[in-house]
Structure 1
Amino acid sequence: MKSIKQFIYLVFAVMFSYSYAQQTPASPQKEAISIKGATAYIGNGNQIENSIIVFENGKITYVGTDQSQAKGKVINAEGKNVYPGFIAPNSTLGLVEVDAVRASDDERELGKMLPHVRSIIAYNTESKLVESMRPNGVLMGQITPRGGRISGTSSIVQFDAWNWEDAIIKENDAVHVNWPSGFSRSGNWYDADRRYEQNKDYQKEVDELKTYFKSASVYKETSQEIDLAKRAMQGVFDGNKNLFIHVNGEKEIRDVISFQKEINFNNLTIVGGYQAHQLADELKEAGISVLIQRVHSVPNFEDDDYDLPYKLPKILHEAGVLVALEGSGDMERQNSRNLPFYAGTAVAYGLDKNEALKMITLNTAKILGIDDQVGSLEVGKDATLFISEGDALEMRGNKLMKAFIQGRDISLESHQTELYKRYSEKYENE
């Protein structure tokens, strides 16, 4: 009986999820498009007043102030702002649709060392959550698996595609490792007397991870024996893949820095990095970049500054560390649309606005290894950008007028905007 009820719930969930069809992906760009008169926030720290931006065949061909460069269809954006598309790294968008429906949850696999698990083949371009990112200017993301000691391999996509093959910007860009934690919290989250307890197996777990990496580094494939997991690791050692290590504690981050020196690889990024500011100088010297945990968080410890999560981007930036913002955590897929507001909060706590913008555009692109394609409004890059009526890092100002992905004029409608319009009309008529 229980299984029958679960089946019925699943059927209704699927029927409801398809009652609002996703917007059809836009057609390829057919003519030149010029955006005229806007303030262009380039994404590299610069901005241009009364700008002209031209793009053809999905690529930017001119950015400047010479109005005579306009060609093709001209969009008058006077008084508006133009931004490069925002990028959401370390995201599970498209891997889970409804948390309570197990059949729609494909963010993790069983096992411990899973570098060969590729998130991209599970990515759902029809996801309603993915579609709802676009009205806030979040047009791209790094789709990342979860679970295990080595979760798997991520890929980077744009959010207007028929299928995952169409969506790819960079396939198999990075391997993701969950570093062991030196401490764990006892009890449930609602217990007032929860305490941190030392992980007695911490060093054993670190040694196990090191042994796996050393074994993978000397792996030689033969026709008689193929290890798919170790084959997937080879890109980390030859520089074709980045390594993303998810870690937060000061001791653990220090051990990651030592791990980098011992294994000797270059493309390393720390994800989370709650206490990264304690080791900012060491991170800069080692050339390790940081994807900072969700800015809209509360402090982890009683003796932390109340505003530490808000000002962490500024602290690390001023120390010379390459920083970008990510949004993993509770309800991370729904909250990914708040990415520009994480940057806006960092501005409110002292970070320069153009530097904050870089943390969700060009800095992110550099960390992901796609800065030759996206991340800034520069000639030769993809025309993935949008026009906002106001400041896109501020909730009231982030109101998109137009958005383009690789030059395609994409829809900004979603099931949420449809419901907004429906109920707006209802109350307007009463």
Structure 2
Amino acid sequence: MKKLNLYIGLLSLLCCGNSFAQQTPAPEQAEAISIVGATAHIGNGEVIENSLIILEDGKITEIIAANLTKRQYPGKQIDATGKHVYPGIIAPNTTLGLVEIASVKATEDQDEMGDMLPNVRSLIAYNTESKIVESMRPNGVLLGQVVPRGGLISGTSSIVQFDAWNWEDAAVKADDGLHINWPDSFRRGRWWRGEDPGLKPNKEYTEEIQKLSDFFASSKAYLNGDRTDQNLPFLAMEKVFSGDKKVFIHADGEKEILDIIQFKKENELASVVIVGGYDALAIASDLKNAEIPVLVNRPHSTPDNAYEDYDQPYKLAKLLYDAGVVVGLESSGQMERMNTRNLPFYAGTVAAFGMDKEDALSLITANNAKILGIDSDYGTLEKGKSATLFISEGDALDMRTNILSHAFIDGRELSLETHQTELWKRYSKKYSEQESK
């Protein structure tokens, strides 16, 4: 009897697990696909009306203005007349797949103990079965940079696509960048240490910067010397010094960013990216001259300072863009994982506050691809690039009209069903039935 009850319990768990499981990843593209008649938003500012886009073997093999009356198009044809085609949206600086439920410690894998953790790799902790990751696709967010958190040096990020069996399948660019949390020159007192909670100069700022500089110097000395005694953190720095791994430095203040520019020079770092950059506008020319791009935080926020315009967060990306800085958008912060799906609407807000709409689109497509170093394959709709794109019934930057009919990653047609869409269908039927009674 006990064995029977055990079998019944296991069967019940299996059934429940299947009913709430992630959508099965799409199979490889088996035939050519021709998308005909849509307005194609290339992602670099260009638009092709009445377009023809042909996808073959996971690549875009043709993108031109269509002649609907004189040509037969290869493979499966999708009539997208009146619709819009966009490159897959790319989400940098996310913890998607690293945390499922913030209040349940067993589902949280975004941080490790310690301050200097360049050898921590977010990719191997990435959970492709995450329901939150699944919910990105119906808004057109198809790729993301998965980033560890915590410490002075958090670890190494990787770029993944959001339709995979496991982290090996998901990887688009493994170990793309090192992430540093730059200390703040001002900070609020730590109440748990009995300090005044007001904002004041950080007396430990210089010491913390020196700690970073010493680690970089020690890593370089180790790599140039005898490696008999294996040191994993130092070994993880090798690609940073060779320029094969970008350095993403999370900072907001003007002084901090100026110090980062100097840090870049002193350590001869080939590629540095500022993440956040709230006060970057004050030193935009310095950033442009140093060739340092900025991933601006979500515009749906309030100003940090009382003297600023109410719409400063909304227009910051445009102002930096106008100043010649390479700009992308990211969505970290409160409830960052679920809010990542709103990335297209953040770009829409930037457009509403003065930026050309196609340029605003580039902040989450072409520019993000360039900043992350994947622009040879992703970020724009161009011949020879990955067939990672989606078809929307309307403007993808407007939450009222961004309704996807199709989405593709490397030519594989994705399911747009998620746990959320299932619940929506379930309860919409419930209330429609009640109204009919």
Is this a same-fold pair by TM over 0.5?
yes
C-alpha distance 18-117 of structure 1, shift in aligned 2 (>3 A): farther
Map of 2:65 onto structure 1? 65
The answer to whether the aligner puts 1:106 opposite 2:113 as a matched pair is no
The answer to whether the aligner puts 1:206 opposite 2:178 as a matched pair is no
For residue 50 of structure 2, give the secondary structure of its aligned residue in structure 1.
Answer: coil
Q: Which residue of 173, 194, 198 maps to 1:195?
A: 198
Per-residue CA deviation, residues 217-256 of structure 1 (Å, 9 max, x unaligned), is: 2322646211111111111111110000000011111111
Map of 1:10 onto structure 2? none
Q: Which residue of 357, 369, 373 maps to 1:365?
A: 369
Q: Which residue of 324, 330, 348 maps to 1:326?
A: 330
The answer to whether the aligner puts 1:390 opposite 2:384 as a matched pair is no
For residue 86 of structure 2, give the secondary structure of its aligned residue in structure 1.
Answer: strand
Shift of 1:66: 4.0
Map of 1:275 onto structure 2? 279
For residue 390 of structure 1, give the secondary structure of its aligned residue in structure 2.
Answer: coil
Contact 2:143 2:162 in 1 (8 A): yes
Letter in 2 for 1:211: D
Contact 1:244 1:269 in 2 (8 A): yes
Q: Which residue of 339, 351, 354 maps to 2:355?
A: 351
Map of 1:259 onto structure 2? 263
Contact 2:348 2:398 in 1 (8 A): yes
Matches within 5 A, 1:22-171: 22-67=22-67, 68=71, 70-171=73-174
Contact 2:36 2:66 in 1 (8 A): no
Letter in 1 for 2:44: N
Q: Distance in 1 between matches of 2:220 and 2:82?
A: 55
TM-score when normalising by structure 1: 0.94
The answer to whether the aligner puts 1:244 opposite 2:243 as a matched pair is no
Q: Which residue of 328, 338, 341 maps to 1:337?
A: 341
Letter in 2 for 1:65: A
Letter in 1 for 2:262: S
Q: Distance in 2 between matches of 1:339 and 1:26?
A: 24
Shift of 1:164: 0.3
Q: Which moved more, 1:257-266 or 1:276-285?
A: 257-266
Q: Distance in 2 between matches of 1:186 and 1:329?
A: 21
TM-score when normalising by structure 2: 0.92
Letter in 2 for 1:155: S
For residue 386 of structure 1, give the secondary structure of its aligned residue in structure 2.
Answer: strand
Contact 1:26 1:410 in 2 (8 A): yes
Per-residue CA deviation, residues 86-133 of structure 1 (Å, 9 max, x unaligned), is: 000000000000011100000000000000000000000000000000
Map of 1:228 onto structure 2? 232
How many matched pairs? 414
Contact 1:178 1:246 in 2 (8 A): yes
Per-residue CA deviation, residues 358-392 of structure 1 (Å, 9 max, x unaligned), is: 11001000010000110000111110000000000
For residue 154 of structure 1, give the secondary structure of its aligned residue in structure 2.
Answer: strand
Shift of 1:397: 1.0
Q: Which residue of 212, 218, 221 maps to 1:215?
A: 218
Task: Provide the aligned C-alpha RMSD in A.
Answer: 1.7
Which contiguous aligned blocks of 4+ residues in structure 1 show a shift greater than 4 angstroms? 13-19
Contact 2:40 2:85 in 1 (8 A): yes
Q: Which moved more, 1:374-383 or 1:209-218?
A: 209-218
Letter in 1 for 2:117: L
Q: Distance in 1 between matches of 2:41 and 2:415?
A: 22
For residue 236 of structure 2, give the secondary structure of its aligned residue in structure 1.
Answer: helix
Q: Distance in 2 between matches of 1:186 and 1:226?
A: 39
The answer to whether the aligner puts 1:181 opposite 2:184 as a matched pair is yes
The answer to whether the aligner puts 1:299 opposite 2:303 as a matched pair is yes
Q: Distance in 2 between matches of 1:141 and 1:370?
A: 11
For residue 172 of structure 1, give the secondary structure of its aligned residue in structure 2.
Answer: strand
Per-residue CA deviation, residues 303-343 of structure 1 (Å, 9 max, x unaligned), is: 22211110000100000000000000010001000000110
For residue 406 of structure 2, give the secondary structure of its aligned residue in structure 1.
Answer: strand
- Identity percentage over the alignment? 59
Shift of 1:262: 1.3
Contact 2:37 2:66 in 1 (8 A): no
Contact 1:362 1:374 in 2 (8 A): yes
Per-residue CA deviation, residues 38-70 of structure 1 (Å, 9 max, x unaligned), is: 000001110100000001010110001144372
Q: Which residue of 374, 378, 391 maps to 2:382?
A: 378
Q: Distance in 2 between matches of 1:14 and 1:342?
A: 39
Map of 1:284 onto structure 2? 288
Letter in 2 for 1:22: Q
Shift of 1:14: 12
Letter in 2 for 1:57: D
C-alpha distance 17-200 of structure 1, shift in aligned 2 (>3 A): farther
For residue 226 of structure 1, give the secondary structure of its aligned residue in structure 2.
Answer: coil
For residue 50 of structure 1, give the secondary structure of its aligned residue in structure 2.
Answer: strand
Shift of 1:300: 1.1
For residue 127 of structure 2, give the secondary structure of its aligned residue in structure 1.
Answer: coil
Q: Distance in 2 between matches of 1:25 and 1:234?
A: 35
For structure 1, the 5+ residue unaligned runs are 1-12
Contact 1:62 1:69 in 2 (8 A): no
Q: Distance in 2 between matches of 1:368 and 1:46?
A: 21
